[in-house]
Amino acid sequence: MEIHRMGHGISVLNDQVPVPGAGCLPVNAFVIQSEQPVVIDTGLSLPDRNFLEALGSVMDPADVRWIWLTHPDRDHTGGIFDLLEAAPQAKVVTTFIGMGIMSVAQPLPMDRVFLLNPGQTLDVGDRKLTAFRPPLFDNPATVGFYDDRARALFSSDCFGAPMPDAESAGCNDVRALPTDQVRAGQLLWATIDSPWVHTVDPDKFMATIQPLRAMEPEIVLSSHLPPAPGGVGTFFDMLTEAPAADPFVGPDQEGLMQMLASFEPA
């Protein structure tokens, strides 16, 4: 796992996962070393990952006060119960639906939960985190937030993009990558992760983008994209194209067999 320090006390804990046929998907968790330290998501749910070890290279897990769960998919919850044990003061920021989804596997302890809805704000001492529903999402519990001190938009899955390789997926500034490549990847990810975008009312969808544009963030921190400082207006422009992008159609069984055959030694 790569650690990227972005200023204003923000660190990116970057991991990646291969996506056959699409490249390599960044999987990011984040740390805000605010007066009341915040961890945003807790990494992949894979047996060879050690989220606490990665977090420990940034701060003492025992000092964490808040665990902001952007949504309870398995690529966001890998280390959550280990972290709850290591951070006895921490509470999990989620929604009623997020808490409910978690309960069908391993329930969150009720005394460790803090429910927060889009539009509400969490004060963590030296900054305020204002929750919002991202324009694109794949889980009904998804809630991102805006950090008013860092002017940072934590967007969960929204704005994500598969990268061509692990090196690109692990870079610390998306501006180092070809702009056309990033935009194409973002549109692909939009159609994979939020296929409903092709069926929405265009005017209603555009109305979800404007409030984020109005925040004028200086950096976008997506769960599935390298950090994006500066020039984020183009990301909002990309969203306006998503409803008309080509729908994603995954491989069928014949396609899967061809993919598996390509991995076999000659």
Q: Are strands 152-156 and 144-147 parallel, antiparallel or unpaired?
A: antiparallel
What is the spatial distance between Cα 6 and Cα 230, in angstroms, rounded to a whole number?
12
Mean pLDDT of the chain, nearest integer = 95
Listed in sequence order, the residues at least 6 apart from 228 whose beta carbon sits closer than 8 Å to its beta carbon are 159, 173, 174, 175, 219, 220, 221, 222, 235
Report residue 266's pLDDT band, with 50, 70 and 90 as the boundaries.
low
- In tens, the pLDDT along 48-85 reads 999 999 999 999 999 999 999 999 999 999 999 999 99
Q: Taking 70 as the threshold, does the pLDDT of residue 151 lie above it?
A: yes
- In tens, the pLDDT along 184-225 reads 999 999 999 999 999 999 999 999 999 999 999 999 999 999
Report residue 231's pLDDT band, with 50, 70 and 90 as the boundaries.
confident
Structure tokens at 255: 């396609």
Q: Taking 90 as the threshold, does the pLDDT of residue 129 lie above it?
A: yes
- Cα 123 to Cα 28, 37, 112: the distances in Å are 23, 11, 17
pTM, two decimals, is 0.95
- Based on the structure, what is the number of domains in the chain? 1
Structure tokens at 123: 């004060």
Nearest to 101 by CA among 131, 130, 80, 124: 80
Q: What angle do CA 175, 161, 95 make, to 5 degrees?
A: 115
pLDDT for the residue numbered 22: 83
* Domain carrying residue 27: 2-263
pLDDT for the residue numbered 89: 97
- Cα 232 to Cα 3, 27, 75, 187, 213: the distances in Å are 22, 20, 25, 15, 9
The domain that contains 232 carries what CATH number?
Answer: 3.60.15.10
- In tens, the pLDDT along 161-183 reads 999 999 999 999 999 999 999 99
Cβ atoms of 80 and 67 closer than 8 Å:
yes
- In tens, the pLDDT along 39-58 reads 999 999 999 999 999 999 99
Residue 160 is given by DSSP the state: -
- In tens, the pLDDT along 12-32 reads 999 999 988 789 999 999 999
Report residue 261's pLDDT band, with 50, 70 and 90 as the boundaries.
confident
